[in-house]
Amino acid sequence: MLRKLGLWLIWLDFIVYVVWFAPPLRSNLLQPIQTLLSGQIPLLNPVVISLFSMVGIWLLIYSCLIFADGRMQRIPAWGFMLASIASGTIGLIPYLALREANEEFSGGKDVWLSVLDARSTGVILTLSTLVLLGFAIVFGDWSAFIRSFQTDKFIHAMTLAFCLFALLFPYPTLLSDDMARRGLMRQSQFFWLVALVPLFGPLAYLCLRPGIPALK
C-alpha cells in the first residue's frame, strides 16, 4: 500500500512541478524533436540528442521487464508503454502503481517477448548507450545544456524524467519480481548492484540475466 501511495505521490508531484514550477514553455515546444526528426542534427546540441535518445533507452530497459511482467497482471502493459513513449514517466508510473507483486510467469514467449528477454538485446542497448554518452561528452556543449535546463521546460522535464527512470527502477517490485522469475533473488548483492548503479546497473542486468523459463 505504501509503495503504491509513494508512486502516485511521485507521479502527481512531477506533473504539478512540470506544469507550474518548471521553466516556461518555449515558443515552439516541439522544435528540438522536429529538428531531430527532420535530420538537421548539426543544429542541435549533442547533449540534447543523447539525452533524448537515452530516455528511449530507458523505455526499452523497462520494456524488457514490463512486457513479461504484464503477462501476469490484470492490466495490459502495452497501453502504458505506448503512453510512456509520448509522456515518459507520466505514462509509466501508473503501471508501476497499479501492478501487483508477482514472481511467476506462465505460457510461451512470443517473438516480441523473446527479443526483450534475449541477452543480446541488453548488449545492443549497452553499446548504444556508450556511443550516446561518448557523443555527448566529446562533442556536447554542456554549458549550453545547463542554460537550456534552466530556461527550457522541455529540456528541464526531459532531464528530470531521465533521473526518475533511474530512481524508480529498483523502487517498485518490478525488478525483484523479474529476478525471482529467473531464480536470482537469493543473490542480494547482485540486486543492489543493479539497483544502485544508475543506468549501467540495469543494462548490466539485461546482459547477464538468464532467460525466463517458458511454461506451456
Q: Mind listing the pLDDT tens digit for each residue in 2-33?
A: 889 999 999 999 999 999 999 987 666 566 66
Domain assignment present for residue 154? The answer is yes
Backbone angles phi, psi at 186, to 5 degrees: -70, -15
Residue 30 in domain:
no
Give a yes or no: residue 216 inside a domain. Answer: no
Give the chain's mean pLDDT: 90
* Residue 82 lies inside a defined structural domain of this protein: yes
Whether residue 34 lies inside any domain: the answer is no
Residue 211's contacts (CB-CB under 8 Å, 6 or more residues apart) are 117, 118, 119, 182
pTM beyond 0.85: yes
Does 134 map to a domain? Answer: yes
Question: Which amino acid would we find at residue 58?
Answer: W
How many domains does the chain divide into? 1
Report whether 30 contacts 157 (CB < 8 A). no
- Element containing residue 188 per DSSP (H, E): helix 188-196
The answer to whether residue 197 is domain-embedded is yes
Per residue in 36-68, pLDDT tens?
A: 666 666 668 999 999 999 999 999 999 999 999
Cell of 80: 502504458
Domain that holds residue 83: 2-23+45-208
Asked if residue 31 belongs to a domain, the reply is no
